[in-house]
Amino acid sequence: MKQKLIWVILALATAVQATTLDTGASFPQALKPVLQEAQAAHLAADLLSRGHYKPIPLDDALSTKIFDKYLKSLDPEKLYFLQTDIDRLGVDRTLLDDAIRNEDLSVPFEIYNLYIHRAAQHLAYARTLLQKGFDFQRDESYQIDRKNQPWPTAETQVQDLWRKRVKNDWLRLKLAGKDDPSIIRILDKRYDNARKRLSRITSEDAFQTFMNAYTMAIEPHTNYMGPRAAENFGIAMRLSLVGIGAVLTEMDEYTTIRELVPGGPASASGQLKVGDRIVGVAQGEVGAMEDVLGARLDDTVALIRGTADSTVRLDVLPAEAGPDGSHKIVTLIRKAISMQDQAAKAKVYSVTEGNTMRRVGVITLPSFYEDFNARQHGGEDYKSVSHDVASLLADLKKQKVDGVLVDLRNNAGGSLRQAVELTGLFVGKGPVVQERNANGDINVETNIRTGIAWDGPLGVLINRASASASEIFAAAVQDYGRGLIMGELSFGKGTVQTMASLDQVAKSAKSEYGELKMTIAQFFRVNGGTTQLRGVTPDIAFPVFVDAADFGESSFDNALPWINIKAANYAPVGDLTDQVPILLALHENRVRHDKGFQYLLEDIVQAQQLRKKNMMSLNEADRRRERDAQGKRLAAREGGAGQGAARATGSALQDDGLQVDERNLTKELAAEKTRKSAKDVLLNEAVNILGDEVSLQTNNFKLAAHITSTSPVMVMELAPHN
């Protein structure tokens, strides 16, 4: 079971931001916009004023909204700017529209440079505290979330905020067993590395931050992507790239190999392994070696990527070597790499009920991906979620599964066309979703390509992070009566975006202006409703992890409203109305006796209490009591043969006070593996519910309608089949 909810909040909510300078308070050179960025802003403004679903004039009113969004994106926790800064910057509150139209970005860059300056000041002060130490017997608290607090009015207030922030970092390490010299070394190195990262911020970073403040001031899902961000978006959609087949991470200024993709050039060479550090990259057989020690990770990745069948040479410091150890040169031929770990996957689970065993196939979809270019060029075997799922369904049918569960948790969407075609695999040909453009014209998106690949019992598992295309699919399955929707209320994103290349608009042959992801329509369910704001309501609701006010469409102050339109011409293919109450009773009865599920409810309650309290003690004795109580709760949850596994999981999830790049890579990967292998309570229960549905449809639950909350629990054991 995933016992990490509380720890995640403790670890992430209190981590020091990766933007600090050394105690000498040296500042990076002021950033300046380049000509292409100013031109890109103007091009984007023209497109947004003409083509957006919710066109808003670029005037002083919008400029004010951009200003507020910009400050919020730079300093969301109000830890850098002073109120005097806000007052001074506020003079330019209505000038950002002029900056965009006149292609003069000096004002937004002035704001960004002040942010860097303030971050340097305040974080440099934080670093000086390391030599002074802290009194952990004092009764004081650290506020976890400051986004709703006022801006500090004096430098002394900011210093006190940072004193508590650093004190909390120190206390986390102390509670994890580190001594004071080790803590000073870790935090000093952390802040120094953060200083170096701050100094590597580019004008493209500043421009993209400003442009997204502009686009999101219009509507939450309109975004600007610089050339590199646009390239990465394309990679994510087609799940392929050309490179060496290595997952890289930054650790202590080194670009470090975190994972080797099976079958990729790096793995096949036999010359590289996890933990090796890349300190130089050269192009071709004779190109000059470029030093990448201390370089930005994305810059190093850009050097390693290239065209298929081209040569790249790497200067590698082996994992076991010290900083002054011997290097080796590794020559590789770049190849197309398929990102299979992010593609659809399937696993079969068995559900035992008495003497009967049901087999449920679980298909996990991380996103609705599609290789747009390959499809446009007429290929039939291009990478897409509908193609992959069709193949998985064919295999599951060979394994004689009784039901199929589609897991869409944390699936933020992707291709609308893929949502339509995926729906067709379960519903067949017919309307799937309706689109209304800015003129009010309605188009019904109909599946005509895919036939039914699975006509048996179907379930869909969603959570609050299931959005957009995920909601289209889940809503269509629900409206057609085709399957059971389980989980949390979904995100509530009911808008359609398109990618617009600013390079094409400018008729530029080079990639220099970036792309605009722009909302052009709103989508509606075939029954005429919309998922906008309200999301998809599950037939069987699971515990809610996050507050809708903090995450989801309803958390945006400028989201489009909920409306409905006329239903499309469609005919339901099933009706689960009579089954839902029975399945709900079985579910409630089972989870009442399921320790794992009850533990999860306890964790959720505790997390909600922590969020509501929004304070963390900085008194060591208090924190140790809290830590010990949490440890006892975890230890008490498992007994007998399962106790060792519980301890291993608890150890992997225990807060060690470190950031990701500070941990031993081998131990970090092992802990990650443990976390991934932890029992997934919600998935298991969804499989159980689908097993119930199979039994209902095969008339094996003759007395199911009479089940009450006092009935004996029906025990169902789950076992995955590899």
Q: Which of the following is catalytic: 468, 470, 490, 554? A: 468
Question: Do 582 and 704 contact (CB within 8 A), yes or no?
Answer: yes
Q: Which of the following is catalytic: 65, 386, 493, 692? A: 493
Task: Dihedral sign for Cα 488, 494, 499, 500, please.
Answer: negative
Round to whole Å and give the CA distance between 703 and 193: 65
Round to whole Å and give the CA distance between 492 and 476: 15
Q: What are phi and psi of 175, to 5 degrees?
A: -65, -25
Question: Do 362 and 683 contact (CB within 8 A), yes or no?
Answer: yes
In the numeric block, which tokens belong to residue 647?
A: 């301890």
- Exposed / middle / buried, residue 211 (Cβ in 10 Å: 0-12, 13-18, 19+): buried
**CA 376, chain centre distance (Å):** 29
Give the three-class secondary structure for 357. strand
Could you report how far apart the first and last alpha carbons of the chain are, in Å? 19
Question: Do 496 and 443 contact (CB within 8 A), yes or no?
Answer: no
CA distances from 655 to 148, 173, 185, 630 (A): 27, 9, 19, 11
Amino acid at 608: Q
Task: Dihedral sign for Cα 148, 149, 155, 159, please.
Answer: negative
Q: Where does 638-716 show beta strands of DSSP type E?
A: none
Q: What does the buried/exposed string (b/e) look like for 137-171 if buried means 16 or more CB atoms within 10 Å of the residue's CB?
A: eeeeebebeeeeeebbeeeeebbebbbbbbbbbbb
CA distances from 452 to 54, 178, 390, 422 (A): 37, 59, 9, 10
Q: Cβ–Cβ contacts within 10 Å for residue 560, how many?
A: 20
Instruction: Give the pairing type, strands 484-487 and 458-462.
Output: parallel
Question: Do 407 and 683 contact (CB within 8 A), yes or no?
Answer: yes
Which DSSP category does 176 fall into? T
Round to whole Å and give the CA distance between 94 and 91: 8
CA distances from 667 to 248, 319, 663, 679 (A): 17, 14, 7, 20
User: Percentages helix, strand, coil for the chain, rounded to the nearest 5?
Assistant: 45, 15, 40
Q: DSSP H helical segments within 102-244, as ranges?
A: 106-128, 155-175, 180-199, 203-218, 227-238
Written as one string, the DSSP assignment of 271-333 is S--TT-EEEEEEETTTPPPEE-TT--HHHHHHHH--STT-EEEEEEE-TTS-TTSPPEEEEEE
* Catalytic status, residue 557: no
* Catalytic status, residue 479: yes
Written as one string, the DSSP assignment of 474-541 is HHHHHHTT-SEEEES------EEEEEEEHHHHTT-SSS-S-EEEEEEEEEE-TTS---TTT-PPPSEE
Round to whole Å and give the CA distance between 691 and 701: 11
Query: 3-class secondary structure for 422-468?
Result: HHHHHHCCEEEEEEEECCCCEEEEEECCCCCCCCCCEEEEECCCCCC
Q: Which residues pair with 370 in a beta bridge?
A: 384
Q: Which of the following is catalytic: 75, 388, 407, 479? A: 479
524 contacts: CB under 8 Å, gap ≥ 6: 433, 434, 435, 436, 442, 494, 530, 564, 565
656 contacts: CB under 8 Å, gap ≥ 6: 173, 176, 663
Round to whole Å and give the CA distance between 684 and 716: 10
* Catalytic status, residue 575: no
Round to whole Å and give the CA distance between 37 and 43: 10
Q: Which residues are known catalytic residues?
A: 468, 479, 493
